[in-house]
Structure 1
């Protein structure tokens, strides 16, 4: 409800995805929207918004159900990971982080992040269960490829690297898997280039495009000159800002308190890891989550320059970071 009323007064892409304004309607048939990127988001919503003419608030309700499914999947994953390595108390503490408002705010509206989060947590859950090619993984991967291929690229990079690092393989098999991983990443990269209409081999055009994207945030209330920060502060900005010194709105205080808790958890976890590093047992899923966060952050800080878009984007990352 909070997300719905917020977007009612602050128009966003959600209205476009749900065909809210008359100017968004056209004579196109449903499957003309079956294309990579934003058109696929509209293809998903077309039967409900156009054919059934369901109101905007119903769309929020439907996407809230998807977001809740992602949270339940995440809780199941936390229970499996923590339950196998620690006491029930730690499992309960970890589950409490699912109550943080930012996660539920951004997973209760008509956004791509809602669907992406469900797909990501599904893949991580299936990899933890060692169901590498289950139907859930296939559907999640196809959905991400059509909706946000760059997120699938980050996810595949993290899982592939973790698998090659931790799973004992013969030299021949490791070379084969590395080649397959490279081919998959190349395909996803070309899909990203197709969406933004960039020559995949033109590095200067990529840098210029990223510069223009960052400049597009100038004038917004949440703009930050991230291109002038050093890399540690860039990563801090992506994961933990807005912080208290950024606050200019009551909502900023809520975000700052949440970010302080997450930052405190990171420090606490780092200290515990240093003290008990010999007892820590990494597996493919845990290392995949860590690499997914690092890769995703390093990519997004090249392109975004707004605290608001960081808060929304990291809803796909911070649950696994925690």
Structure 2
């Protein structure tokens, strides 16, 4: 069974990849698709070998499912829900390697969906320009964190599914609902952020609003708060509980991780910068952090270019209205992570939750032929 799953997965990747390459005319774009495949699979090998070595979160998802006699023995909320997802695969005798490959393939599919989306959007014909900008989706850390049996791999895939369903205005379907439900069970706070962003998007962009749909979405937010309380392991939301939880994070951060920061003595702005752009070269302590610093420098330059193009060219109103869901999701996630992230490595990992959406905004601005000038909107 295990060998069969591995062979089938690889055969499907090669088959659909070959079909796509036949439809692409530009050699440069073909090289992008091939580079994406190579980068993601190299990242998969590194991710797999590292998780075998350290045997922490990812490998524990597999072990917990392996040791459970029945699925109800497992936790259905939070990180451990990953064990629930892999439980049927494990009981069928599928190995940790093959399950990791399946999850890696899901995230690779999401990457290809993004590539296809922007390839269809780009109409100028200058494929050197397209090639250069699309290289941001080849940054290694984004692939490393999503190429294996990780929460990031699944959330990355699910958030891409949500994005494309909203883009197609096709949210009244089972795919959209299942994607949101899985996000809720794995990371409830992301579900709340996505739902609030989507509600704001439909209220601003829909001429004839569906009151029942909005009420249902608001009820979903209320229900998700109950799930969030269980996820955070707290009895009720109040200032004292939140303060105690924050103190616990401070104590944990001071005792764990070589690259931790002092949460108590750091301010919100410094943590905001940490979430977005650190480590940078001045605080890199090893080769891995040096490489991440290079990626973060690229992200910093992209943020400057994006801000300049939006603010100084008067494109705020039209662009933000059309892309409000992605804008709000990105902003809220960054603001949320800036509250508690205490570790440079954790910041690099959590960046996977919002950096694809930032790239979507950046590429949409430069690839979309729509005119967002203020004076031409009204």
Q: Which residue of 2 aligns with 1:204?
A: 240
Q: Which residue of 2 aligns with 1:229?
A: 266
Q: Which residue of 2 aligns with 1:18?
A: 62
What displacement does 1:185 show? 1.6
Q: Which residue of 1 aligns with 2:108?
A: 68
Q: Which residue of 1 aligns with 2:204?
A: 165
Change (3 A) 1:247 1:216: same
- For 1:85 and 1:162, locate their aligned partners in 2 and report how far apart those are by CA, in whole Å: 29
The CA RMSD over aligned residues, in Å, is 2.7
> Is the 2:66–2:87 contact (alpha carbons within 8 Å) kept by the matching residues of 1?
no
Query: Any idea what the Cα deviations from partners look like across 1:222-276, whole Å, max 9, x if unmatched?
Result: 2112443333322110011111111111001110000000110110111122232
> Is the 1:128–1:284 contact (alpha carbons within 8 Å) kept by the matching residues of 2?
no
Q: Which residue of 2 aligns with 1:111?
A: 150
**Pairs within 5 Å for 1:269-308:** 269-278=306-315, 281-282=318-319, 286-308=323-345
Q: What TM-score do you get using the length of structure 1 for normalisation? A: 0.87
Q: Which residue of 2 aligns with 1:184?
A: 220
User: For structure 2, which runs of at least 5 residues remain unmatched after alignment?
Assistant: 1-44, 360-378
What displacement does 1:140 show? 0.6
> Is the 1:238–1:314 contact (alpha carbons within 8 Å) kept by the matching residues of 2?
yes
Q: What TM-score do you get using the length of structure 2 for normalisation? A: 0.75
> Is the 1:163–1:284 contact (alpha carbons within 8 Å) kept by the matching residues of 2?
no
Change (3 A) 1:30 1:228: same
Q: Which residue of 2 aligns with 1:131?
A: 170
> Is the 2:326–2:357 contact (alpha carbons within 8 Å) kept by the matching residues of 1?
yes
- For 2:195 and 2:309, locate their aligned partners in 1 and report how far apart those are by CA, in whole Å: 29
Q: Which residue of 2 aligns with 1:310?
A: 347
Change (3 A) 1:265 1:52: same
Q: Secondary structure at the match of 2:94?
A: coil
User: For structure 1, which runs of at least 5 residues remain unmatched after alignment?
Assistant: none
Instruction: Flag the structure with larger Rg.
Output: 2
> Is the 1:124–1:285 contact (alpha carbons within 8 Å) kept by the matching residues of 2?
no
Change (3 A) 1:2 1:79: same
Q: Secondary structure at the match of 1:224?
A: coil
Q: Which residue of 2 aligns with 1:30?
A: 71
Would you say how many aligned residue pairs link Structure 1 and Structure 2?
Answer: 314
> Is the 2:272–2:334 contact (alpha carbons within 8 Å) kept by the matching residues of 1?
yes
- For 1:85 and 1:177, locate their aligned partners in 2 and report how far apart those are by CA, in whole Å: 38
Q: Which residue of 1 aligns with 2:185?
A: 146
> Would you say 1:59 and 2:99 are equivalent positions?
yes
